[in-house]
Amino acid sequence: MEDYRELKVEADTFDKMRADTNFILQRALGMMKEKDSMEGKVTINLDIKLVPEFIPNFDEEIEGETRRILKPQFAHKVTSAINIKNEKKGNFDSEMEMVWDEDEQAYVLKYINNTVQRSIFDDDIREQWNRDGNNANVIEISEEGDFMNVPLIEGEVADETALPGPVVDYPEDDGYGYEDVV
């Protein structure tokens, strides 16, 4: 029996630390495979503390009734971290410009207008839309709440009361070889 122990990581002094490291390493690898994670980390922390102690001196070569010794204490901690991220990202790119709104007394987003690319937000187009009677697509509503007879599409309407369906004077066979399914 030896009367000493080596202070090397591969020595039996650190058997428990190596066993714990192997256990954590195997669990980390299994978890990485299960979770389809391609990166992980195993960390080994070894805390060392030297504790001074005075013991009775029976060594004839050392003077005094007691002598000071240092007793090392080793504490290890083995951890693993697997990189599994759950993440959601978003982006708000409004293609709008930030402007100061006097009414709100705050910055707001406003459509970019009055450029080469025309839009309904351009000042001259908005003026045209806002003018009374100048817009052909404005629908007038009577006081009773029903629509007035204002055509929304220019041109002659054959029969405004007609419903979708067969057309009068339309040939049954159009020459394409299809038959109506009843």
pLDDT value of residue 168 = 62
Task: State yes or no: pLDDT of 106 exceeds 80.
Answer: yes
Structure confidence at residue 4 (pLDDT): 82
Number of Cβ within 10 Å of residue 113's Cβ equals 16
Q: At which residue do the structure tokens 């650190």 appear?
A: 14
Angle (nearest 5°) at CA 145 between 160 and 161: 10
Question: Which range has the worst mean pLDDT, 54-63, 87-96, 170-179?
Answer: 170-179
Q: What is the pTM of this model?
A: 0.46
**pLDDT score for 40:** 92
In the chain, domain spans: 12-82, 96-130
pLDDT in tens, 70-92: 999 999 999 999 987 666 677 77
Q: pLDDT tens, 9-53?
A: 999 999 999 999 999 999 999 999 999 898 999 999 999 999 999
Residue 145 pLDDT greater than 60, yes or no: no
